[in-house]
Structure 1
Amino acid sequence: MIAGVGPALVDHIYSIDSYPQRGGQAIVRNSVKEAGGAAANVIYGLASFGLPCRFYSTIGTDSDADFFISSLKKVGVDVRAAVTHPETGRVDIYVDSEGERTFFVHPNAAGSAAVSIPNGDYDEVEYFYLDPFPAANSFEIHLEIARKATERGKTVILNPGHPYSAMGFERLSELLQYTDIVILSLPEFEMLGGNAEKFLEFVDVLVVTMSEKGCKAYSDEKSVHCPAFRVKVVDTTGAGDAFSAGFLYGYVKGYSLEKCLKAGNFVAAYSIQHYGARTFPPVRDVDRVLSE
Structure 2
Amino acid sequence: MISVVGHTAIDHICRVPRFPEKHTSTYTLDHRIFFGGGAANIAAGIATLGERCTLVSAVGSDFPGSAYERRMEELGIERRFFFVPDRPTATAFMFNDLAGDQITYFDWGASAVFAEADAPALEFVHMATADPSFNVRVAEKSEFASFDPGQDILKYSREQFETILDNINILFANRHEAATMAEVLGTSVSDLAKRVEIAVITMDAEGCMLCVRGEKQMVPAIRVEMADPTGAGDAFRAGFLSAYQRGYAPLRCCTIGTTAASFVVEQVGCQTNLPTWERMAGRHAQYFGPIEKEA
TM-score normalised by length of structure 1: 0.86
Residue pairs, 1:19-168, within 5 angstroms: 19-63=19-63, 66-84=66-84, 85-113=86-114, 114-116=116-118, 122=122, 126-133=123-130, 138-149=131-142, 154-164=143-153, 167=156
Consecutive unaligned residues of structure 1, counting only runs of 5 or more, are: none
1:285 is aligned, of 250, 269, 279, to 279
Q: What amino acid is the match of 2:190?
A: A
Does 2:267 align with 1:274? yes
Distance 1:65 1:55, change over 3 A: farther
Point out where structure 2 has 5 or more consecutive residues left out of the alignment. Answer: 183-187
Runs of 4+ in 1 over 6 A off after TM superposition: none
2:227 match: secondary structure: coil
Match of 1:16 in 2: 16
Does the Cα contact within 8 Å between 2:119 and 2:137 map onto a contact in 1? no
Q: CA deviation at 1:77?
A: 0.2
The one-letter code of the counterpart of 1:116 is D
Q: What's 1:265 paired with?
A: 258
Could you tell me which amino acid in structure 1 is paired with residue 61 of structure 2?
A: T
Q: CA deviation at 1:58?
A: 1.4
Deviations along 1:174-205, one digit per CA (max 9) or x if unpaired, are 1111111110011111122233334433x210
| d(CA) in 2 for partners of 1:170, 1:225 | 30
In 2, the alpha carbon distance for the partners of 1:145 and 1:263 equals 27
> Following the alignment from structure 1 to structure 2, what is the Cα–Cα distance between the partners of residues 99 and 164?
22
Q: Does the Cα contact within 8 Å between 2:194 and 2:214 map onto a contact in 1? A: no
Amino acid aligned to 2:101: E
Contact 1:65–1:88 (8 Å) recurs in 2: no
1:182 equivalent among 171, 187, 202:
171
* Percent identity over paired residues: 24
- 2: distance between equivalents of 1:31 and 1:221? 43
Distance, in Å, in 2 between the alignment partners of 1:163 and 1:142 is: 11
Distance 1:251 1:98, change over 3 A: farther
Q: Secondary structure at the match of 2:218?
A: strand
Task: Determine if contact 1:99/1:233 at 8 Å carries over to the other structure.
Answer: no
CA separation of 1:64/1:239 partners in 2, compared to 1, >3 Å: closer, same or farther?
farther
Matched, 1:224 2:221: no
User: Which residue number in structure 1 is paired with residue 185 of structure 2?
Assistant: none
Residues 40-87 of structure 1, C-alpha deviations (whole Å, 9 max, x = no match): 101110001110011111111125873433232221101121222431
Distance 1:182 1:118 in 2: 20
Q: 1:165 to 1:227 in 2, by over 3 A?
A: farther
Count of residues in Structure 1 that have an aligned counterpart in Structure 2: 278
Segment of structure 1 superposing worse, 22-31 or 69-78: 22-31
Question: Contact 1:166–1:191 at 8 Å: present in 2 too?
Answer: no
1:113-171 CA-partner distances (Å, limit 9, x unpaired): 1443556xx4xxx42111232xxxx222222222111xxxx320101224336646554
Q: Give, in angstroms, the shift of residue 16 of structure 1.
A: 2.4
Question: Which is worse superposed, 218-227 or 239-248?
Answer: 218-227
Structure 1 residues 87 and 235: alpha-carbon distance in aligned structure 2, compared to 1, 3 A threshold: same
Please state whether the residue corresponding to 1:112 is helix, strand or coil. helix
Amino acid at match of 2:250: L
1:231 is displaced (CA, Å) by: 1.9
Residue number in structure 2 paired with 1:200? 194
Taking a change above 3 Å as real, the CA distance of residues 118 and 166 of structure 1, as seen in their structure-2 partners, is closer
In 2 relative to 1, CA 90–217 (structure 1 residues): closer, same or farther, beyond 3 Å?
A: same
Distance in 1 between residues matched to 2:89 and 2:65, nearest whole Å: 6
User: 1:268 and 1:11, CA in 2 relative to 1: closer, same or farther beyond 3 A?
Assistant: same
Q: CA deviation at 1:207?
A: 0.5
Q: CA RMSD in A?
A: 2.2
TM-score, length basis structure 2 = 0.86
